[in-house]
Amino acid sequence: MSSVRGKVAVVTGAGSGIGRQLALELARRGARLALSDVDESGLAETVAEVKALGTEVQGAALDVSDRAAVLEYAATVAAQFGVVHQIYNNAGIAGGGQTVLDAEWELYDRTLAVNLFGVINGTKAFLPQLIDSGDGQVVNISSLNGFMAQPTLSAYCASKFGVRGFTEALRTEMIAGRHPVRVTVVHPGGVKTGIASSALKEAAARGIEPTAEQLERVRLYNEKLLKMPADQAARIILDGVEAGKPRVLVGNDAKLVDRLVRLLPRRYPKLIVDFERRRFAR
């Protein structure tokens, strides 16, 4: 079993949710940290909490969809720490709420830019450093929607399926090239974060008024489906990383859905629709 102690770890989307808790858990386990987020106030809070644990930390405002900015950031991190061992490509947005028929192109552009190309940008920018470290690790955060599709989540599902495929392809390349880099894809289930509520904010920013059904969906997600505390999710992820696991399922819901999709690949879409009709009274 490897350890994160003494390693330099990069965490994107560290201003809240799973990203913040990953940073705190990494700090408790003795890592040195480079943290980033587009939310500067949230990031500042995380950096302060990490510093209180006595950890060396660098914080930087970063939009992971901005490729040039990510490349510049990678150079800055290398200049400060001299080496980078791990990257946790965690930053993401909700990107849902509309059917394919109704969704605007902008929804797909933004969701794929952050959720998929943000992961690709971070991986490619830091991969040479990870290889040079001699003990590297790429950890990409997908979702249970990286193997299960749902209605009104086509942009989000496309991005998270993409993260899964990209990460698994990367793993084959690291094995084929005999590079000293382990690769892990993470599929969280219902983790108690602000991602459902943030979908409403994203829609409002695009001038879209949420429907009564969408408001009810967000309420039910927050109250019934997003249950696991983010700090517990972070511990599960890091336990998997330290054990060298290529795939980490976070939560019993993720494990159950994984089995459902594997056992009933043709039938599960109808089962999902039936479940949503009952749950959301549609």
> Beta-carbon neighbour count of residue 246 at 10 Å?
13
| 41 vs 51: CA distance, rounded Å | 15
- Measuring CA to CA, how many Å separate 63 from each of 48, 118, 186, 278? 20, 8, 21, 38
| 68 vs 63: CA distance, rounded Å | 10
Let me know: does 210 contact 196? Beta carbons within 8 Å: no
- Measuring CA to CA, how many Å separate 222 from each of 44, 143, 217, 219, 230? 25, 17, 9, 5, 13
Q: CA dihedral defined by 153, 155, 160, 163, rounded to 10 degrees?
A: 170
CB under 8 Å to 49, separation ≥6 — which residues? 20, 23, 24
Residues classed as catalytic: 156
Our separate counts of H helices and E strands in the chain read 11, 9
* C-alpha torsion sign, points 238, 242, 246, 247: negative
| 55 vs 50: CA distance, rounded Å | 6
Give ∠ CA 98-103-104 in degrees, rounded to 5: 145
